[in-house]
Structure 1
Amino acid sequence: MDVRDAAPEDAYRSVEQELALLFRRARARATEMAREVHPELEGSAYPLLAYIGGSGRVRLTDIGLHFGVGKGTVSRQIKTLESLGLVSRESDPLDGRVYLVSLTEEGDRRYTRAREARMGSIRTLLGAWEPADVSAFAGLLHRFNELMESG
C-alpha cells in the first residue's frame, strides 16, 4: 500500500467504526422512543410510525418501498400499529384496491410528544456546538444519506 493511501484508509475505518456505534445507539434510541409512544410498541416499528407521521396519508406499497421491505412485513407492522390505536387504514378513494394509512388522533398526539422529546435531546446534545457546526453536520449527514439512498 502506498503511504499516501494510509491516511484515507484509516479515515474510512474510523467512519465505519463510528457508523457502527451510531447505528447501535440509534436502534437502542428507537426502542426508547417507541416505548415513549406506547409501552407495547416495538423499536422496529418506531421508524414506520415516524414515516407515516411525516407523510400524512401514505399507501402501504409506498411504505414498503421506502423501507425496502415486502408487503407482508408492512401489513404485519401496520396491523400491530392499528391494534395499538396509533394508525388507521382506509381504502384509497381513487383506487379501492389500495389502502392508505395515517396516524390516528391518539397516534399523532403520542408521536408528536415523543418527537418533541427527541428534538429536546438533540438540542441538548448539540447545544454547545456553534450553529455553523450544527449546520455543517446536518449537511454532511444529508450528503451521506443521499449516497446511501443511491448506492
Structure 2
Amino acid sequence: MEKSEKRDDAGDTANAGGDQVMEALERELTLLLRRARASSGDMAREVHPDLEPAAYGILSRLHETGPERATLLAGYFGVGKATMSRQLRALEDLGLIRREPDPADGRAFLVELTEEGRSRFTRVREARRRRYVSRLAAWDRAELGDLARLLHRLNESQEGA
C-alpha cells in the first residue's frame, strides 16, 4: 500500500459509522419524498381533478407569500422559466391563479391566487393538517418542534444547491 493509501483503523470505523448514518438518512428521505410526491398528487387532484402534482406547491407558495413574480417562483422551486410558465398557464386555465401587472415594473407580472384558487387550496390544506394532527397525535410537542426545525434547516441548506 502506498503512503496515500494507508488508512487508520479508527478512521475507517468512524467513516463506517458515518456511512451508516448517511445511508439511513438517505433511505428515510427517499421514502419521505416518495410518499410526499404521492400525497402531492392526491392533494392536487382534490384541489382540481386536472391539476398536476407539482402545481400544488405553487398554490401553497402563493398562499404563503401573496403575489409573486414567476421568475421568483421558478427560483424558489429550482425549475426553469419555461417549466414555471407552463405550470402557471395550466393553473390560470383552471381559474386558480391570475396574472396582474407588477406596479413596480410595468413589464413584469405578479402571479396571485384567485378567490376560487384560495378557497380550494385552503379546503385541501385544512384536510391535510387534520390528517397530520391525527397521525402525529402520539408525538411529543417538543419532538414535533424539533422535526419542524430540522426540516427547515435541511430545506435552507438546499436553497441554491
Q: TM-score range by the shorter chain?
A: over 0.9
Map of 1:136 onto structure 2: 146
* Mapped pair 1:56 → 2:66: yes
The reply to whether residue 69 of structure 1 matches residue 79 of structure 2 is yes
- 3-state SS of 2:157 partner: helix
Paired AA for residue 121 in structure 1: R
After superposition, the CA RMSD in angstroms is 1.3
Deviation for aligned residue 1:5? 2.4
Runs of 4 or more, structure 1, over 2 Å off, are: none
Is the counterpart of residue 35 in structure 1 residue 55 in structure 2?
no
1:2-151 to 2 correspondence within 5 Å? 2-149=12-159, 151=161
When the two structures are superposed, what TM-score results if normalisation uses the length of structure 2?
0.88
Structure 2: unaligned runs, 5 residues or longer: 1-10
Specify the SS of the correspondent of 1:100.
Answer: strand
Distance, in Å, in 2 between the alignment partners of 1:96 and 1:134 is 44
Kindly provide the amino acid, as one letter, of the partner of residue 29 in structure 1.
Answer: S
Q: Distance in 2 between matches of 1:136 and 1:69?
A: 29
1:98-119 C-alpha deviation (Å, 9 max, x unpaired): 0101000000000001111111
Q: Deviations over 1:32-89 (max 9, x none)?
A: 0101111110112111111111111111111111112222211111111011010011
Higher radius of gyration, 1 or 2 = 2
What residue is the counterpart of 2:6 in the other structure? none
Q: Once the two structures are aligned, what percentage of the paired residues are identical?
A: 49
